């Protein structure tokens, strides 16, 4: 199902690759980057927090994502392409993070480590969504967030995650059924408590 090699940082842009003739020149100017950052950072952080379940880790990965984004040679295109590219970097960083410490596969990470611990005030949807998300695998959380929160198509998710579009369709179908069942259970439990 995986399209590329899985040797760690296979899809993370190489810092050296885009080094221009003048090393102090970045391809995007400071003001343009500030604008892009303001528009994209909240969405990227939300993605990383929800998938990792760890706000501190999400902050670290977000910073690293932007650094790699700035240092690498980016694909041609406008902000939509840049945004997707940024999500791809973040997804790969997240995957590398899960692989590195315990040499464990992304899917093997115990779910109790992944419960949301965000200090933000919870609203009803979060109170329902967080427990359900904690019971999903990281890969399922990634796919669901990219498809339903970010609104990416299967092809775009394929670009971001490195999985095949056909595989994403099946995985997403299963993950959606699973989380829908968990959400309904959670809603029913909340209603009974109320």
Partner 1 sequence: MTFRTCSYENELAQALKHGHWPEGCGPELRAHVDACGSCSDLVLVTQTFQHARSESERTAVCGSPGLLWWRAQLRRRNAATERVSRPITIAQIFALFVYVFVGVVFVASQYRHGLHWASWWSELVPPRVVHFLPIGSGQVDWNLLLLISGCGVLALLSGLVVYLASEKS
Alpha carbons 76 and 72: distance in angstroms, whole number: 12
Bridge partners (DSSP) of residue 2 are 163
Contacts with 119 (C-beta within 8 Å, 6 or more apart), sequence order: 55
Q: Please choose, from the candidates 14, 18, 66, 59, the residue with its C-alpha nearest in 3D space to the C-alpha of residue 40.
A: 66
Which position among 12, 52, 54, 66 is part of the footprint of partner 1 (CB under 8 A)? 66
Stretch near partner 1 under the rule CB under 8 A, chosen from 13-21, 76-84, 85-93, 102-110 = 13-21
Is the sign of the CA dihedral 122, 146, 13, 80 positive or negative? Answer: negative
Should residue 61 be labelled a site residue for partner 1 when binding is judged by CB under 8 A? Answer: no
Instruction: Name residue, tokens 């969405």.
Output: 43
Q: Which of 50, 83, 88, 139 binds partner 1 (CB under 8 A)?
A: 50
Query: Does 57 help bind partner 1 (rule: CB under 8 A)?
Result: no
Q: Does 126 bind partner 1 (CB under 8 A)?
A: yes
Window 91-120: contact mask with partner 1 (x via CB under 8 A): -----------------------------x
Q: Is 82 exposed, middle or buried (0-12, 13-18, 19+ CB in 10 A)?
A: middle
Q: Nearest distance from residue 52's CB to partner 1, in Å?
A: 13
Cβ count near 160 (within 10 Å): 25
Interacting residues toward partner 1 by CB under 8 A? 15-16, 19, 23-24, 26, 30, 33-34, 37-38, 41-43, 45-46, 49-50, 59, 62-63, 66-67, 70-71, 120-121, 123, 125-126, 128-129, 144-145, 148-151, 170, 173-174, 176-177, 179-180, 183-184
């Amino acid at each position: 199902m995986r399209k590329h090699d899985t040797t760690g940082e296979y899809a993370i842009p190489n810092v050296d690759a885009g080094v221009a003739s003048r090393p102090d020149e970045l391809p995007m100017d400071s003001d343009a980057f500030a604008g892009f950052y303001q528009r994209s950072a909240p969405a990227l952080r939300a993605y990383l927090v929800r998938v990792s379940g760890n706000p501190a880790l999400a902050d670290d990965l977000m910073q690293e994502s932007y650094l790699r984004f700035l240092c690498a040679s980016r694909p041609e295109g406008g902000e939509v392409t840049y945004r997707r590219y940024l999500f791809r970097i973040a997804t790969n960083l997240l995957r590398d993070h899960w692989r590195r410490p315990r040499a464990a596969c992304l899917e093997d990470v115990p779910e109790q480590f992944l419960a949301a611990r965000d200090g933000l005030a919870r609203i009803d949807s979060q109170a329902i969504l967080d427990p359900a998300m904690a019971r999903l695998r990281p890969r399922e959380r990634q796919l669901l967030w990219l498809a339903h929160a970010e609104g990416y198509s299967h092809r775009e998710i394929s670009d971001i995650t490195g999985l095949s579009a056909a595989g994403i369709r099946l995985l997403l179908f299963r993950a959606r059924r699973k989380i829908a069942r968990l959400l309904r259970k959670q809603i029913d439990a909340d209603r009974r408590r109320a």
